[in-house]
Structure 1
Amino acid sequence: MDGTDVVAAVREECATELDRLGSEKALVAATDAVLERDAVLDAAGAAEARARDTFSRWATDETDATARHAFDAIAGTEREHFERVAEHHPTTPEDPPLDGVHEYLDGLDDTAARVGAGLVGRPLVSSRSMLQVINFFVNEGANAEADLFRALRAETDDIVERGAELLDSVCDSEGTTSAPARRPSGWSRSPTTSTRPGWRGSASTRSRSASGRARVTGRDGSDGGSYRPGPSATYAGPRRADRDDRPGRRGRPADRLLFPL
């Protein structure tokens, strides 16, 4: 298995979902629609604390030595992230209850599943979430906080690369053979509705146009862009460039599961 190919496939296959999970609506939901400095820092700090605790638990019971060391190192990174947030907001909750994402992660005991979900899936979503936090503080003129989360986001992106490398190691040690990545069954040549495991409320309708591109329509009727099935799959819009100066916008609160910083 090539971990880099796995990460690339996840980015491609889940482009629409990642865009939606990283939308400004997730920040609105995470703060109970209270878009103020303290509420945003509370939500961000709580997310770091949950990640710290999840990786710490994995580091205590993981049987694969390489993965165990990686989990312990990332627990330390997340612990440092929490402390850096707490420097800006000392009342940040240190022992928050598990959210849906970390309830799912907490239930994993297979090494490869932990690496894939914890070191690839979670940081891919977290990076998008952090961008919204950066945007919020830029919009507020809070340069110190914006710089903090730029740094945390860069370190979170690094975890994805470490996850790709670790996937190579743990899958080889478990005797997993390389195989082409398969597309989720939800991508179909005919109109269908699909709910992917682990993505609550993520059902969407995919229908194929005359051009051969599969149209993606969200449950709320929003246009999710188009997808061309096949070996040379491509995704087309709507995509929004990552940038820090986009004004924050309020919208319909998203599921609280969608903000695992």
Structure 2
Amino acid sequence: MAGLVPGTSRLLRAGMGAAAAGLLLIYNSVDAAPSADPAPGQAAPPAATAGASPGGAPASPASAQSPAKAAPGPVAPPLKRSKPTRLRIPQIAVDAPFTELTLNPAGQLNAPPPDDKNLVGWYRDGVTPGERGSAVVAGHVDTNKGPAVFLLLSLLLPGNRVEVQRADGTVAVFLVDSVETFAKDAFPDQKVYGKTPDAQLRLITCGGTYDRKRKDYLDNVVVFAHLESSRKA
């Protein structure tokens, strides 16, 4: 999977806070074509279902999908800063450890290592999941070894829950608000990374058509979620 997460380095460095428009950055990842179309029901990044492209997102989403509205639900107060340690999304069989992601000298967000298909990355200089603001978690849809952790990400629905275990012994529980697909050349930095008044989460992977010439998917799948509650691990 090539080129995962566009955005501005200023937005990333500001903890996904509000910032002026800047140059798009592309999330570096595996420079290889998918080994095969993932089988339906196999757990990992955006889903492959009938009528879907290898990334699992709609075949031609040149712009954002209309966001689906979640049922009104409680919004929990933000938590103190604490590193995430594990991500669990029961609906798509995700149970994965975290690794820290950094920016390269060009201001691009480095991808999780491609040799581990069950690994998600968190931008370490940004908001931690549960803190006020938009915490960004990225994962591969596939690697040169086959389907990866976010294969089924695009199958999430409003109201689904995402759990992030944290180093301080708490579990931050997020409620999915919408799942949207954006063309990489029209990625809405501010919508995804912008400042928020509460604790929110963004799960990001590749989607749409795979361009073998560019060795890259043409779109990104983004899950928008907000902190619903927290509990002891």
> What TM bracket, shorter-length normalisation?
under 0.3
Decide which structure has greater helix share: 1
TM-score normalised by length of structure 1: 0.23
TM-score normalised by length of structure 2: 0.25
- Structure index of larger Rg: 1
